[in-house]
């Protein structure tokens, strides 16, 4: 497996979508087929086509880059994803229209998988369906040889497949959702990559920091934060717990979620109760109120107490306003607990895998 990175297309400054290799007519046909051409602006730029949304449409439907209500303007999830990409303050570059279509499908697969994911919340436990997975100390949970990767990921995260909830952290669960979306798209457009993913997972799990580096692209920064209400379905993001004492409890440092569209964020523990941005901010705010000392002396979070506080705040408009004024701020830098809120400045999205420009390169297997 090659470790060389593929060449990156040069992208312009600006926003929306940039197509490296497309004509205006080809782009227009693409957007007409997806019923968004009436409010898209196209312009030749750097040998490609720059694509965005008309300013009057944005002012009416998504002011200040607010994508949380775009589902009301979209016929389906794929169209909502496309609108969010076109609205973006960050330029999303694609080598051509087929790569753009692939990127939309990956995000759709991820958002749909996130909505179906339900897990058991045990921060110090880990379990996978024995039919598909086994654990090795150095390699992590690896796939039984010959077992289908897509089926294995579904079995671990979607209880309809096995009738059981498995133990995950929210971070590890998000990795499975992302890998599932990529594998499902690879099954459509890049079978060679799917074979590589299958074989790699039969030997070693890619986790944590390495997973981020291999599979994801982070956009936004502390210096140039993304707007507070800008999210594209299929983004992975982090809500930080800004309360230092409760953030010291394992599993409550923050919360990793997938934005599923329609103004909703994944809730892997109660998938029938996905979070709105307001609800997520209020929940994290009240983790501090659930901080209690267990009989063994360890500090833990009393979830029942948190739920009661959340319900009380959501029913009190004045208190809700006060909580959101604090929590809807951008987070402090790592290690700092001062005046920041719970919103992160960045998002993460999966790398492109269409054969015309496959950004995903698996690392060499550990010896």
For Cα atoms 301, 305, 308, give the angle at the middle one, nearest 5 degrees: 140
Q: What is the pLDDT of residue 14?
A: 56
For the chain, what is the mean pLDDT? Answer: 93
Residue 124, pLDDT score:
56
Structure tokens at 108: 């759709």
pLDDT-derived band at 4, boundaries 50, 70, 90? very low
Distance, in Å, from the CA atom of 89 to the CA atom of 16, rounded to the nearest integer, reads 6
What pLDDT is stored for residue 127 in this prediction? Answer: 86
| Cα 276 from Cα 267, distance rounded (Å) | 10
The residue count for the chain: 367
pLDDT digits (tens, 9 = 90+) for 174-201: 999 999 999 999 999 999 999 999 999 9
* Rounded-to-integer distance, Cα 205 and Cα 135, Å: 10
Q: Please, how many CA atoms are within 13 Å of residue 84, restricted to the half-sphere of its CB?
A: 32
At 102-131, the pLDDT tens digits run 999 999 999 999 999 999 866 555 789 999
Give dist(CA 177, CA 80) in Å, integer: 19
pTM of the shown model: 0.93
pLDDT at 11 over 60: no
Per the model's pLDDT, the better-predicted residue between 188 and 13 turns out to be: 188
Q: What is the DSSP letter of 16?
A: S
Q: Which two tokens stand for residue 193?
A: 């990559």
Give the pLDDT mean for 87-116. Answer: 97
Res 10 pLDDT > 50: no
CA distances from 94 to 67, 97, 194, 345 (A): 21, 7, 21, 23
347 — pLDDT class (breaks 50, 70, 90): very high
Task: Return the residue matching tokens 């133990």.
Answer: 167
Indicate whether 1 pLDDT > 50: no
Report phi then psi at 94, rounded to 5.
-135, 140
* Poorest-pLDDT segment among 73-87, 160-174, 307-321: 160-174
The pLDDT value recorded for residue 5 is 39
pLDDT in tens, 130-142: 999 999 999 999 9
pLDDT score of 13 more than 90 = no
Residues 60, 65, 69, 75, CA torsion sign: positive
- Whether the pLDDT of residue 325 is over 50: the answer is yes
């Amino acid at each position: 497996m090659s470790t060389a990175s593929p060449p990156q297309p040069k992208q312009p400054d600006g926003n929306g979508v940039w197509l490296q290799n497309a004509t205006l007519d080809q782009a227009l046909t693409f957007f007409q087929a997806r019923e968004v051409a009436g409010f898209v602006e196209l312009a030749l730029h750097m040998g490609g086509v720059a694509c965005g949304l008309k300013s009057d449409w944005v002012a009416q439907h998504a002011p200040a880059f607010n994508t949380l209500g775009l589902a009301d303007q979209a016929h389906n999830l794929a169209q909502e994803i496309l609108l969010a990409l076109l609205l973006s303050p960050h330029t999303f570059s694609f080598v051509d229209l087929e790569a753009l279509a692939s990127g939309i499908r990956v995000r759709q697969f991820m958002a749909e998988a996130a909505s179906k994911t339900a897990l058991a919340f045990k921060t110090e436990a880990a379990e996978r369906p024995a039919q598909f997975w086994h654990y090795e100390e150095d390699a992590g949970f690896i796939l039984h040889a010959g077992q289908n990767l897509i089926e294995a990921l579904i079995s671990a995260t979607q209880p309809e497949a096995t009738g059981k909830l498995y133990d995950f952290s929210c971070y590890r669960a998000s990795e499975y959702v992302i890998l599932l979306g990529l594998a499902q798209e690879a099954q459509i457009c890049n079978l060679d990559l799917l074979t590589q993913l299958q074989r790699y997972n039969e030997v070693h799990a890619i986790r944590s920091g390495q997973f981020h580096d291999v599979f994801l692209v982070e956009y936004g920064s502390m210096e140039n934060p993304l707007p507070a209400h800008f999210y594209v379905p299929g983004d992975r993001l982090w809500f930080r717990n800004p309360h230092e004492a409760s953030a010291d409890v394992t599993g409550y440092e923050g919360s990793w979620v997938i934005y599923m569209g329609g103004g909703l964020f994944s809730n892997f523990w109660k998938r029938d109760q996905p979070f709105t941005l307001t609800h997520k901010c209020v929940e994290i705010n009240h983790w501090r109120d659930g901080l209690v000392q267990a009989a063994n002396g360890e500090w833990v979070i009393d979830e029942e107490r948190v739920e009661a506080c959340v319900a009380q705040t959501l029913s009190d408009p004045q208190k809700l306003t006060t909580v959101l004024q604090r929590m809807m701020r951008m987070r402090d830098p790592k290690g700092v607990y001062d005046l920041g809120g719970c919103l992160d400045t960045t998002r993460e999205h999966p790398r492109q895998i269409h054969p015309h420009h496959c950004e995903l390169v698996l690392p060499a297997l550990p010896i």
